[in-house]
Chain A
Amino acid sequence: MPDLSGYRFTATHEWVETVDGGVRVGITDFAQAQLGDVIFLELPEVGATLKAGGRFGVIESVKAASDLFAPVGGRVAEVNGGLADAPERVNSDPYGEGWMLRLEDVDEAGADLLDEAAYARLTEEAAH
């Protein structure tokens, strides 16, 4: 397991990590495992403004299309362009190469974030 102490999580299985110049956003290992092979991502444009809890995109696996929700608000400063050709990185490295967005001007108003231990409890309950 990667070191996730710097990550916070949502009940809808996204993560947020503080990095230089803002935060990075992606989905959790639990989420990618539930989705199965990721085929396609619909992500916002650079410059778009997100609100915490707002829908920011769609992730398609072989099985289903699922909405993605912003763990925090902010302005989209960067989109992981590598996912267009290699969306399977969300499966193979969800906390690293599978990151989706970098946000600046972060706004945590309305955010409902869990720490690693609280998120682990949530997924354990979901597994039963």
Chain B
Amino acid sequence: MARRTPLWDRHVALGARMVEFGGYEMPLQYSGIRDEHLAVRGRAGVFDISHMGEVLFAGPGAEASVQRLVANDVSRLVPGGALYGVMCTEAGGIVDDVIVYRGLGGDHFLVVVNAATREKDVAWMGEHLLPGTEMRDVSDLTALIAVQGPGALDIVAPLCEGEVRELRPFRSTGARVAGIDARTSVVSRTGYTGEDGVEIYIDADRAGELWDALLDAGRDHGLVPAGLGARDTLRLEAGLRLYGQDMDEGVDPYSAGLAWTVKLAKGDFCGSDALHRIAEQGPPRTTVGLSLEGRSIARHGHRVRDGDRDAGEVTSGTFSFTLGHGIATALVDPASAGRDRLDVDIRGTMAPATVVPLPFYKRSRS
């Protein structure tokens, strides 16, 4: 039986098509993936992402524990600051990709994990905690709503008590939103769409009020509810990875193109010995962007060909509504990653693809 987020009844009332994702019954789409995708690129969309897991770390050992769990360097986080990182196995495979926040008080940390991996992650974290750390899975108490798009701040900022408009990317602040008194109400300038916007953490039992207030405030800004379908096409255009599809425990962060999140210089952490070795020897595979001609869609698991040789496989693929052609990411042999062109075997037909740098889409900053 799939779990429901606190906003389930609202999705159903809006006519969303519901699907199971990460153990939750989630909205795939409301009006349609294309509409929602283009709304987020042009105006704004609101997403229920309450399926994401949140794990709190407190106590004198909290920083050292999170530093041990995550390959990025959390010591440089200021209070309210966030970073993207991966947790790795001793062999250097990715356990999950996460966002880490240093709490506003400075001494606790919040790690945001994927829904599908939450239980595995919590067990993994528990096994690798250092003394003096209290860990608490607060996922079921916490709802998460994202507002994304060029109009997002114009919708959210007037509802907030606090300096939300001045927040820099990857910073968060405690702020009452829409006058809702919640124990937790944190506005973070983060997202998974490649657009400007915020993600708001709020008590699960107040999430409905926040959702309603956001939709209400967004009415004159063209805000639409957006589902997981658009979230996936948006994140892929923005070159962002999806755990379970672009990476798993069989993929190291160098192969996944996430070397920038691995800070070997910070000292020992889970997987650091293996990651040192991979960094020296070079990763077994390389993540590349593929731009396809026309409307052919490469999909997860399709083989990539380099001439008459198998070069690897597509990890994510879709039709880019912004660019008007197919896009994909693939894990390929390092030798093939340097080619200008590769082919994707789409059901027996070789679809020519140009190797392009990620991301496929970058918003223009005004």
Contact = CB atoms under 8 A, between A and B. Distances in A.
Interface stretch (B182-190, B280-288, B291-299): B291-299
Interface string B82-114: 000000000000000000000000000000000
Interface in A6-61: 36-37, 39-40, 58, 60
A62 interface: yes
Contacts of A63: 28, 33, 229
A40 B297 contact: yes
B319 A62 contact: yes
A20 B297 CA distance: 35
Contacts of A117: none
A67 to B, nearest CB: 10
Contacts of B33: 36-37, 62-63
A87 interface: yes
Contacts, number: 36
Nearest to B34: A37
Contacts of A40: 294-297, 319
B219 interface: no
Nearest to B36: A37
A65 interface: yes
Interface string B329-364: 000000000000000000100000000000000000
Contacts of B319: 39-40, 60, 62
Given A37-B34, A40-B319, A65 B29 contact: no
Given A36-B229, A37-B34, A40-B319, A65 B295 contact: no
A62 B295 contact: no
Of residues A58, A62, A91, which shows the largest number of chain B Cβ atoms within 10 Å of its Cβ? A62
Interface of A: 36-37, 39-40, 58, 60, 62-63, 65, 87-88, 91
Given A39-B319, A58-B347, 12 more contacts: A36-B17, A36-B29, A36-B32, A36-B33, A37-B33, A39-B295, A40-B294, A40-B297, A62-B319, A63-B28, A63-B229, A88-B34
